[in-house]
Amino acid sequence: MKVGFSQKNITPPCRVTLAGLQRVRIAEKIESEVYVNTFAMEEDGEQLIICAMDLVGYDGHFGNLVKENLKSADIDREKIILCVTHTHSAPGVTQKGFEKIEAYLPEGRKIEEPALPDDVWDNDKNCTYIAPIVAAAIDEAWQKRTDGYISPAFGRAVVGHSRRLVYGDGTARMYGHSDKVDFLYPESAEDSGVEILYVFDGEKKPMGVLVNVACPAQVMEATYKLSADFWGKVRDRAHEKYGEDFTVVGLCGAAGCQSPRDLVRHKRADAVKLEDPRKMPRRGDAYMYDEPGIHAIGKRLFHVIEDEMEEAASRMSDKEILIHKAVTVELPLGCVSEAEYLKAKEGLAKYVAETDVLDDRYKITRYTAVMRRYERQMKAAYMTARLNIVRLGDIAFATNPFELYLNYGLQMKGRSFAAQTFLIQLAQKEGSEGYLSTPAAEGGGSYGVGVLSCLTTPEGGRMLVNKTVAEINEMF
């Protein structure tokens, strides 16, 4: 067994726009630098490379640019798993795609976003800077392969919670309030399980660890700080304990409906106390919108890593079955009706006619997304999703390109023949394919469902689960 790691700083040398949320945010300070952390493995000629980036996501242009910059000719490009921690406090690297939106605008009209200050990099500059570093990290991890050992383990830490609440009228709301009289329950389950894979060198010293949790790194998402979020704090503690070369590869599991915030014990705003003095301040987690939250979660996850290390080191192995397949699955496209298409077309025309400066691309996209989907479904009824399925000893890894709702991930884990199943969302050469919501979520509405958020349907979710489980179980 040959194993290698790499950790490289991808923080641009200037101020940047932060990706995530539907507004322009320019970083005002650096809370923690952002990294790409890579694990490479070879066993009997088979390859596994997992490259986790402190980014919100990436697109096909970025993924192709990474692979174009790779120097190692012996790396099978199909065996590279490129994924993200899904932090909303990192540089954006995706193309804005204005030309796709502007194709629906009248001749002479275009999107006119305010110009960025000269010292701020936009997504294009971030992409050009970061992609070659990611490629170098993959090359380095691969070239540094050495004799090693692995040991899987399991721990438990509360990180993710349902971010959608259901109300008495059947509707749901992302980040809704639980103190409303018609609040019923959080829409989805939660998964506090922590899947762990320790890696040791030929002398049986710790090299790094892969840690899989069902929660995006989004404590800091509403701030104007560049941050690796809670994974940065996990790494800080790990480096202090095991040395600067120890690499933590943080993997985001099925978490399209999850966030680090407990909405039932959500801290009340001061205004609520003024409205009704009987409502006492909530007692619960650290403040999960800023630095106290990332320190709290970082501490929880590191304690799991630390607690399980000794026992894992007593049963490490240097010879395991490694099977790695890159496969595709056809999933039904979420469709819109002709009436919805015409309504969107009319809405866009009205908005453009009444608006002098078209500076809100998010509002325009609400119309053009429906129109584009209608035109796409006229050409094909299905979309193709790429998956990487891996058996490593008695554990499995499975990727998908979606912000996958947790219930699908729980189905995969429950039905898998593997002793442990690591799930990695938002992992595909072409980048994200949007959310993949559940029937319950579609019924509740709000953000994260429907054609504005999802490329496929809950039926596609069922098919994805079946395909993933079938591919995993075939390896055992």
CB-based contacts of 277-280 (< 8 A; 24+ apart in sequence): 279/179
- Give the Cα separation of 36 and 133 in Å (integer): 8
Cross-strand bridge partners of residue 420: 395
Encode burial over 263-276: b for 16+ CB neighbours within 10 A, e otherwise. beebbeeeeeeeee
Burial of 171 (0-12, 13-18, 19+ CB in 10 A): middle
Find out whether 184 and 168 touch, Cβ atoms under 8 Å: yes
Cross-strand bridge partners of residue 29: 225
Residues near 409 by Cβ (< 8 Å), separated by ≥ 6? 191, 214, 253, 254, 255, 423, 425
- Predicted confidence at residue 277, as pLDDT, reads 80
Task: Output the tens digit of pLDDT for each of the chain's 476 residues.
Answer: 999 999 999 999 999 999 988 778 999 999 999 999 999 999 999 999 999 999 999 999 999 999 999 999 999 999 999 999 999 999 999 987 778 888 999 998 998 888 899 999 999 999 999 999 999 999 999 999 999 999 999 999 999 999 999 999 999 999 999 989 999 999 999 999 999 999 999 999 999 999 999 999 999 999 999 999 999 999 999 999 999 999 999 999 999 999 999 999 987 665 565 677 887 878 889 999 999 999 999 999 999 999 999 999 999 999 999 999 999 999 999 999 999 999 999 999 999 999 999 988 888 999 999 999 999 999 999 999 999 999 999 999 999 999 999 999 999 999 999 999 999 999 986 777 899 999 999 999 999 999 989 999 999 999 999 999 999 999 99
Rounded CA Rg of the chain: 22
- Using the structure block, give the residue that is written with the tokens 């809405």: 347
Q: Which two tokens stand for residue 244?
A: 């600067």
Q: How many CA atoms lie within 13 A of 281 on its CB side?
A: 6
pTM (2 decimals)? 0.95
State the angle between helix axes of 406-415 and 458-474 in degrees (0 to 180), rounded to the nearest 10. 30
Residue 160 CA: distances (Å) to CA of 163, 170, 218, 230, 292? 9, 23, 10, 12, 16
- Predicted confidence at residue 272, as pLDDT, reads 60
Torsion of CA 176, 180, 184, 187, to 10 degrees: 0
- Give the Cα separation of 3 and 41 in Å (integer): 4
- Predicted confidence at residue 77, as pLDDT, reads 95
Residues near 116 by Cβ (< 8 Å), separated by ≥ 6? 17, 24, 26, 122
DSSP letters for 4-33 = EEEEEE---SSEEEEPSSSS-EE--EESS-
The closest of 468, 21, 31, 382 to 230, measured between CA atoms, is: 31
- Give the Cα separation of 10 and 56 in Å (integer): 13
- Using the structure block, give the residue that is written with the tokens 């320019």: 26
State the angle between helix axes of 361-377 and 338-354 in degrees (0 to 180), rounded to the nearest 10. 150
- Give the Cα separation of 303 and 237 in Å (integer): 9
The closest of 193, 251, 189 to 399, measured between CA atoms, is: 251
Question: Domain coordinates of the chain in residue numbers?
Answer: 2-327+382-474, 336-377
The closest of 393, 385, 413, 387 to 323, measured between CA atoms, is: 393
Find out whether 175 and 163 touch, Cβ atoms under 8 Å: yes
Find out whether 435 and 464 touch, Cβ atoms under 8 Å: no
Find out whether 329 and 467 touch, Cβ atoms under 8 Å: yes
Find out whether 137 and 66 touch, Cβ atoms under 8 Å: no
Residues near 229 by Cβ (< 8 Å), separated by ≥ 6? 54, 85, 87, 89, 217, 218, 219, 220, 294
Element (H, E) at 213: strand 206-213
The closest of 56, 22, 94, 62 to 229, measured between CA atoms, is: 56
Q: Which two tokens stand for residue 84?
A: 């993200």
